[in-house]
Amino acid sequence: MSRVDIGELVGIRTRHPEAVAEAAGQRRRRTRLVGDSGRLMIVAADHPARGTFAVGNRPLAMANRLGLLERLCLALSRPGVDGVLATADILDDLLLLGALDDKVVMGSMNRGGLAGASFELDDRFTGYRARDLDRLGFDAGKLLLRIDYDDPASLDTLAAAAHAVDEMAERRLPVFVEPFICHRIGGRLCNDLAAEAVTRSIAIASGLAGTSAYTWLKVPVTEDPDDMRAVMETSTLPAVLLGGDAGKDQDSAYEKWRAALQLPTVQGLVVGRALLYPVDGDVAGAVDTAVGLL
């Protein structure tokens, strides 16, 4: 793992908070979102801000910030990794560590729908705003759009998401929309990964706001991977695959991604827990395997 000195980070944050903005201003930026490979490989780490720490049978795996930062620095150092998706606290740390030069920096925008909360679908934009991403010179934003036809709070989230897409487009900043049709089962919110539900979610997300020119989709692989071709024919928007928690069957996840990456609208991967916390503990190996799929 890449070594991170927490004491040094805390010292900078305590005595020189302006160092974050200075580091953002000095960061070497990429000229294009998608590099020479024509594909996009992003490591995701915005889970903790929603109160989600679990990986497999480890309920607090992502709660240790030192461990998370070390894993992120290692992942970002591997060839073929284009960048990172995270919230401000994590991206500020990575800026101070100098880990974001020449990387795509994607800010997570709405984290108000806390996991397990009664207001989970009233997903307020409590993270980055479009003007924050523009001011910091970041490269893109990401928002989560979960829709439950039986929960009126979904309408507020839908309207807020459309507004965020408009604000990003005004600044010519790409925004990655991650849509799901959801249902509550025994009080727990569950994402519907059936082909029909994913198809509907893609259609809804594609039609948000006054323009789709800067909109990307961030989509799951369906329950039956064979359905992905028909599902991805729902939109012409470029898309990336999300990873989720691969569980113990990492190889199965890789094969699903490999097949879906052959589809014309699928342009890359945005994966977090499956690469940062692989079952065998080999972060570099997991990242390199995912890069190889591209």
The model's pLDDT over 175-202, given as tens digits with 9 standing for 90+, comes to 999 999 999 999 899 999 999 999 999 9
- Pick the range with the lowest mean pLDDT from 19-23, 34-38, 208-212, 276-280: 34-38
Percent of the chain with pLDDT over 90: 92
Is pLDDT of 1 > 70?
Answer: no
Angle between helices 65-77 and 283-293 (to 10 degrees): 40
For residue 106, give the nearest of 233, 283, 269 by alpha carbon.
Answer: 269
| 104 residue type, one letter | V
Residue whose entry in the numeric block shows the structure tokens 């190996």: 285
Burial 132-146 (b: 16+ CB within 10 A, else e): ebbebebbbbbbbbb
Q: What does the pLDDT look like over 90-116, one tens digit per residue? A: 999 999 999 999 999 999 999 999 999
pLDDT of residue 247: 66
pTM of the model: 0.96
pLDDT of residue 3: 79
User: CA-to-CA distance for 146 and 178, rounded, in angstroms?
Assistant: 8
pLDDT of residue 127: 97
Alpha-carbon torsion (150, 86, 13, 130), positive or negative? negative
Domain boundaries 6-293, corresponding CATH code = 3.20.20.70
